[in-house]
Structure 1
């Protein structure tokens, strides 16, 4: 895994100033690539490409970037892994006759494939995660690309006469053209709604992130950016639903997943896996161990606070499979140490509080391995969220109740608050079977109340995934936009649950889950791989009928049946827990002073971004224990902390420093 950055202009570059600027941009990404750095400038063409390398495959100099194609036409900087690179290499040899390969990196294979087949045909054949910038020396065109599901990030912008791009916003901030770029209030409103900022938006006005499965073509002569999709999940869904599935779903998934894991376990450095004890990560580790002659290294996080700890479940799975298991128990002290780093780690406001344990488990894993596989994506593909399970029967029943009656019920439930609901439902939860004992019941009931008061399934989904239903109230002056999706073009035969799974896969997954894992892991120079998001698994999942995913109030049916082949069902049959942390308690106690400073009235009024009376009311109610506003408050706090960490910088300072070195 690596970091990439660069820029181009409409005219000739002054190489004496271009090189220190390029070095400064790349140096900001050192954590993404601590092993090597490379730079390439064509002053006459006005283009500069830079790369920071985390060496994973082909550790020799033949994996060095920027890399030029054998034909000399293309130069690339690339962040990612193409897992079927050897298959592509063989296909290229069969067409061209055996070539003289310089090394065995997937970057070299990708370049040769671009030259032989073109960009889109190559990406149609490649299975992997990536972000790249490809300069065509003949056509003088720069092409940016991002993997189908959005595992790897890529940001870009025209800033005057200069086009800049990079793996993270911090690289763009290091270029002198990044001046007078302000906060985008509309994007801030989206952040307050979703707790993260969806592509193509960013926190900055005029700065974009490339959407998953997209290519961007940049022609310096025209000064524009043309973005187009080369892969769309809706097309996968349409093809999958065109023909009924017939066959052994468990056997087919087992075969496909094993092939994917064999590809993803290829590395020239130590490799392991995150293990939460849930179905998804347990399945990944089970199949890894089945494919490995040695004990797989596994890593998990635990909490001493009741209701948040799954470390014991992970340990039981690890003991059964015989992995080399490592665990860390997170305390409030751990959180206090991590919180000040979050703005630098995530680079733009991000408020999924599981970012804390995600960073800590990545940090622990990095002390043992350089690559770690994760179980992310299983929920979105196989119906793992409570909303997927409830979507069919529950929404059908709710839709028969008049909207005013649902709205009144929802107001009554919301008026009780999460903590009071937890106390009221505790006796009932205590007598239920262990497999049905959900944690954080109050939070789930409040979400259900929000869904009840919506007019339709799509509106219900928006309520379920929104922290602030009306972000214009917390961010005065923003337009309360909702992320557009292609859900309207999905097959009419899709069920409510499948529609929600699709929305989660194109919205929540890349914007929240994958961004969280990428930033946390890359901050400690750890490469993460996500087997569930290999296109072969994605296509397989959408071919299965809903009954193989959600059936009789249970989600991830086919995953449970497959995992049952490797792990006793009693070790994983329990309610979904999630990677949550006790933020509500921490804000009232260990993090109280830190939060109070960021939420001071003087500060909020001086900045002018947020509704100060509304923020202060939430904070006072949360401290008093009458309401549990921790999700919303965490969003506000992460924005305020980001503002603190990203005050305007004098980029000329970087130029002088780098030039002197």
Structure 2
């Protein structure tokens, strides 16, 4: 795990100028690679590559980057891990194409593969998470590439005749040519999704390279280059659905366990201490169980807990850890510990990011880094195996809605909305003893109003967009903006599944997962110089998941059914069976309590008007309703607050 950056400058510059600028950019990524740093430049073509290294494999000088291929043709700066690099070395040897190896790093392997097979074929043969910039000295071409599922980030953009690129925006911003104008259209996407989805960024003219893509630029016409897909998630979906596995439940569980074991075993390769996050839920418990099954020593596991009711999973994680025999560490976080993280968020996330689970993710990463350098994570299981509650309800809810005329749905929605959430809560509290247990919901008023929004959906896709949106009409809030097209609104880019729930899973895997979940984990962990690995996102696991029939993912109203069967082989069912709990903090009460003054300052009407990005009216309305307790707008408000805090921290470089 490392940080990479660099630039390509056509007008030419001295070697000293190239080096000084590259060093400035690289210095902003020291947290991603505190162990070593290097740079390479060629003033004859105006290119500079820089790297910060967190040493994981081959801690010697032989792993130093930027690295040259043995033949001298390629120079690379690389971030990530190639888990099958030893197998690739064996293949090179069998073909008589292996160089004399200088060390045992995966970067040396990948650049030797470039020399033997070319970049695109190497990408297709590689198993791993990565982003890299590779310069071909023979063809005078620059290639940027990103892993299939988007675990590792890569930004790029043109500033005049200079191409800037790097693992984080803060590296690009260090270049004197960087244009820091905010993209108001991208801001509308942030308000809707809590993040800025690829390929957009918060800055005009700066993009994210999308997962599974490469960008190849030549000296002749660099600006004409367009990203190309070397792997497409929709192709995996289509192939999996057209060629499903014909097997029993037991055979399917065997296939899943075997593939997870193989992926986990490869991801446990490390020359530094390694452990795992453990929440006690299905995903992380499965990863840890299979890690422990293949390890001769207790696996180091880590979890954090909160004293607030409804937010603490530490007791469940502890029970799983005790059963598996891991070396478990847990830390109970006080509110002041979590609140102390909030001022750091604008520097940790170099563009606005509104998923509030960023706070506990940073804290568990901080604790974990005290013991290990690498941690495996259970992310990805929900999107692949049907774990989110919205998948469980999408089919049945929408099918029932189809039988109700639209005018009737509108009438019911109007009735639901006439009663405030607080009144719904009081009504349901009084009626609770008379209702069946399954009808006794937490926060019934908020759920009633969400149901009203869902009833107004015209189809299953708009139903999903409604569920996936934090602010429903963000373009009306951002002054001078219109909302750009994304995967969620571009019907031509949608996967073909024939089933709403599976369509939602495929959409989440290509949007929410890489743009929110993986960004959160990468930035929070790397801010602590911790490498995270995600076995569920090995592309072979992804491809297997889509070949499994839907009834082995969701069955009898229960998500991740097949993964549970694998887990039950290692952990008693009673230890892991409980309602799904998000990785959250009690924002609702914090915004009315210890964060109130901070939030009021950022959301003041005068401030919003002076800054000129937002229409203050809808924001102030939600803030007043939240403070009064009439509504719980914690997440919508947090999204605005995260932009405001980011803007305040970056005003010195914004125009």
TM-score of the pair, normalised by structure 1: 0.95
SS in 1 for 2:45: coil
455, 462, 466: which is aligned to 2:465? 462
- SS of 1:41's partner is strand
2:506 counterpart residue number: 502
**CA spacing shift, 1:491–1:146, aligned 2, 3 Å:** closer
Aligned counterpart for 1:317 among listed residues 307, 320, 334: 320
- Quote how far apart the aligned CAs of 1:31 are: 0.2
How big is the shift at 1:6?
A: 0.2
Whether 2:76 is the aligned partner of 1:72: answer no
Residue among 376, 391, 396 paired with 2:394: 391
**For each residue in 1:263-299, what CA deviation from the matched residue of structure 2 results, as whole angstroms up to 9, or x when unmatched?**
0000001111111111001100111111111111111
Deviations 1:105-124 (A, max 9, x none): 00011001111111121111
Q: 1:635 to 1:650 in 2, by over 3 A?
A: closer
CA offset at residue 218 of structure 1? Answer: 2.1
Cα gap change, 1:343 to 1:150, in 2 (>3 Å): same
Map of 2:213 onto structure 1: 214
CA distance in 2, matches of 1:415, 1:323: 53
Partner of 2:608: 604
Q: Cα 1:385–1:537, aligned 2, differ >3 Å: closer, same or farther?
A: same
Q: Secondary structure at the match of 2:285?
A: helix
SS of structure 2 residue aligned to 1:269: coil
Tell which deviates more after alignment, 323-332 or 292-301: 323-332
Tell me the distance in 1 between the aligned counterparts of 2:434 and 2:547. Answer: 39
Given the alignment of the two structures, is residue 252 of structure 1 paired with residue 251 of structure 2, yes or no?
Answer: no
Q: Secondary structure at the match of 1:216?
A: strand
Secondary structure of 1:637's match? Answer: helix
- Select the residue among 280, 302, 308 that pairs with 2:283: 280
1:405 deviates by 2.3
Shift of 1:574: 1.4
Contact preservation (8 Å) 1:604, 1:610: yes
C-alpha separation in 2, matches of 1:319 and 1:433: 36
1:143 alignment partner in structure 2: 143
Change (3 A) 1:380 1:423: farther
Question: Could you tell me which of 355, 374, 377 is aligned with 1:371?
Answer: 374
Conserved? CA contact 1:199–1:209, under 8 Å: yes
Task: Please give the alpha-carbon distance, in whole angstroms, between the structure 2 residues aligned to 1:377 and 1:76.
Answer: 29
* Partner Cα distance (1:253, 1:441) in 2: 38
Per the TM alignment, residue 307 of structure 1 is displaced from its structure 2 partner at its CA by: 1.4
Matched, 1:351 2:354: yes
Deviation of the 1:329 alpha carbon: 2.0
2:627 to 614, 623, 628: 623
Residue 59 of structure 1: how far off its partner (Å) = 0.4
Q: Which residue of 2 aligns with 1:24?
A: 24
Q: CA deviation at 1:468?
A: 0.8
Deviation of the 1:395 alpha carbon: 1.2
Give the Cα–Cα distance (whole angstroms) in 2 for the partners of residues 607 and 211 of structure 1.
31
Aligned to 1:534: 538
The one of 354, 376, 380 equivalent to 2:383 is: 380
Matches of 2:398 and 2:35 in 1, distance apart?
52
Offset, 1:241: 1.5
Number of the residue aligned with 1:632:
636
Shift of 1:210: 0.5
Question: Partners of 1:341 and 1:357 in 2: how far apart?
Answer: 13
Q: Distance in 2 between matches of 1:586 and 1:259?
A: 43
Structure 1 position 448, deviation (Å): 3.8
Tell me by how many angstroms 1:411 deviates. Answer: 4.0
- Give CA-to-partner distance per residue, 1:49-100, whole Å, 9 cap, x none: 0000000111000100000011111000000001111111101111026531
Query: 612-621 or 33-42: which moved more?
Result: 612-621
- C-alpha deviation, 1:341, in angstroms: 0.3
Deviation at residue 368 of structure 1 after TM alignment: 0.7
> Alpha-carbon deviation of 1:16?
1.9
Could you tell me whether the CA contact under 8 Å between 1:135 and 1:143 is conserved in 2? yes
The correspondence of residues 562-573 of structure 1 with structure 2, limited to 5 A, is 562-573=566-577
Cα distance in 2 for partners of 1:233, 1:437 equals 39
Number of equivalences: 650
On the 8 A contact 1:438/1:577 being kept in 2, the answer is no
Write the distance in 1 (CA, Å) between the matches of 2:505 and 2:654. Answer: 45
* CA distance, structure 2, for counterparts of residue 492 and residue 218 of structure 1: 32
CA RMSD in angstroms, aligned pairs only:
2.1
Q: Which residue of 2 aligns with 1:405?
A: 408
Per the TM alignment, residue 421 of structure 1 is displaced from its structure 2 partner at its CA by: 4.7
Secondary structure class of the residue paired with 1:183: coil
Once structures 1 and 2 are overlaid, which stretch shifts more, 612-621 or 291-300? Answer: 612-621
Q: Contact 2:89–2:98 (CA<8 Å) still a contact in 1?
A: no
Do 1:599 and 1:637's aligned partners in 2 also have CA atoms closer than 8 Å? yes
| Distance (Å, rounded) in 2 between the aligned partners of 1:544 and 1:86 | 29
Task: Tell me what 1:175 maps to.
Answer: 175
Deviations 1:309-334 (A, max 9, x none): 11111111111111111112223212
Following superposition, the deviation at residue 217 of structure 1 comes to: 1.5
What's the counterpart of residue 304 of structure 1? Answer: 307
Shift in CA distance, 336/419, structure 1 to aligned 2, threshold 3 Å: farther
Instruction: Name which of structure 1's ranges 384-393 and 257-266 shifts more when overlaid on structure 2.
Output: 384-393
Of 617, 633, 649, the residue aligned with 1:645 is: 649
Distance between the aligned counterparts of 1:428 and 1:532, measured in 2?
43
Relative distance call for 1:81 and 1:443 in structure 2 (3 A) is: farther
Mapped to 2, the partners of 1:83 and 1:429 lie a distance apart of: 53
Q: Who is 2:578 aligned against? A: 574
Mapped to 2, the partners of 1:584 and 1:82 lie a distance apart of 42
CA distance 1:438–1:310, shift in 2 (3 Å)? farther
CA distance in 1, matches of 2:97, 2:23: 39
How far 1:417 sits from its partner (Å)? 5.3
Question: Are the equivalent residues in 2 in contact too, given 1:418–1:442 (CA < 8 A)?
Answer: yes
1:188 correspondence with 2:187: yes
- Higher mean C-alpha deviation, range 216-225 or range 370-379: 216-225
Distance 2:449 2:491 in 1: 26
Cα 1:325–1:424, aligned 2, differ >3 Å: closer, same or farther?
farther
3-state DSSP of counterpart to 1:226: coil
- Counterparts of 1:45 and 1:241, CA distance in 2: 48
**Is the 2:186–2:483 contact (alpha carbons within 8 Å) kept by the matching residues of 1?**
no
Output the CA distance in 2 between the equivalents of 1:579 and 1:437. 23
The aligned counterpart of 1:546 is: 550
Verify the 8 A CA contact 1:39 1:65 in the aligned structure 2: yes
Q: Return the offset for 1:102.
A: 0.6
Instruction: Report the alpha carbon displacement of residue 128 of structure 1 after superposing the two structures with TM.
Output: 0.5
Partner-residue secondary structure (3-state), 1:129: strand
Query: After TM superposition, where is structure 1 displaced by more than 4 Å over at least 4 residues in a row?
Result: 414-446, 485-493
Secondary structure of residue in 2 paired with 1:469: coil
- Partner SS state of residue 245, structure 1: coil
* Contact residue 142 and residue 216 of structure 2 kept, 8 A: yes
Q: List runs of 5+ in structure 2 lacking aligned partners.
A: none
Cross-structure match for 1:11:
11
8 Å Cα contact 1:348-1:642 kept in structure 2: yes
Contact kept? 1:429, 1:438, Cα under 8 Å = no
Query: Which range moved further: 103-112 or 615-624?
Result: 615-624
